[in-house]
Amino acid sequence: MTDFSGKHVVVTGGTGALGSTVVRNLLGGGASCTVPYIIDAEAQRFEHAGAKNVRLIKVPDLADEASVAEVYEDIAPWASIHIAGGFAMGKVAETDKAALTAQLDNNLISCFLCCRAAVNAMRGGGRIVNVAARPALEWRSGAGMSAYTIAKTGVAALTVTLAEEVAKDGILVNAVAPSIMDTAANRAAMPKTDFSAWPKVEEVAATILFLASPGNKVTRGAIVPVYGKA
């Protein structure tokens, strides 16, 4: 178990499948967590709701500056982990401006605003971990989901540029790029796929936790593929 004793960590998307696993391991390592959420049903079934070291905070929109400012108000996080996002299929010819904007808001704008707030809230260094996606590294694999690919590619670029900006402040910024993860929702959506090839959420979480940990002393500006056997 990675040691996060005395560390405060923000986890967006912390009520989802990957986020819950990350939060569980952070708490096991001694961290306290702030977990913003949007969907009430997710918060109600969140396994760590009511835990003394967890602050659940309802926000209307992580692509809204005021909402993000509220999340980071009066805290000095050691790490900020940005898992929140959204997915949509759609070829360019089928994607209108509203659909493109939704993907940018859900994935890139929310990540950018949380990164900005985290940098301004950290004191004496810290860690930021973003979540990109395989199409952010392999653009051709994003055919048929163009808006999502554009947004996640932006997350990757944001990660690398921010890492360069804040390295001298002791803040190490990295991202993971998962392929399709083995979750109940993904199995239901693709029942005929070989699930054994998909990376498990526990495995992806382990990479995130290392990058967010005090044990990561040198890695910055990395977009780490977490593909499993896929």
Domain with 86 in it: what CATH number?
Answer: 3.40.50.720
Q: How many CB atoms lie within 10 A of CB 101?
A: 14
Task: Flag whether 172 is in a domain.
Answer: yes
Task: Flag whether 2 is in a domain.
Answer: no
Residues in the chain, pLDDT under 50: none
Structure tokens at 215: 């044990």
Q: Which active-site residues does the annotation give?
A: 148
pLDDT of residue 158: 98
For the chain, how many structural domains are there in total?
A: 1
Task: Flag whether 3 is in a domain.
Answer: no
pLDDT of residue 28: 96
Closest CA to 162 of 86, 220, 207: 220
pLDDT of residue 222: 98
Q: How many CB atoms lie within 10 A of CB 191?
A: 8
pLDDT of residue 183: 75
Task: Flag whether 22 is in a domain.
Answer: yes
pLDDT of residue 186: 75
- pTM for this one? 0.95
Question: Structural domain of residue 115, as residue ranges?
Answer: 8-226
pLDDT of residue 191: 82
pLDDT of residue 228: 85
pLDDT of residue 141: 95
Task: Flag whether 1 is in a domain.
Answer: no
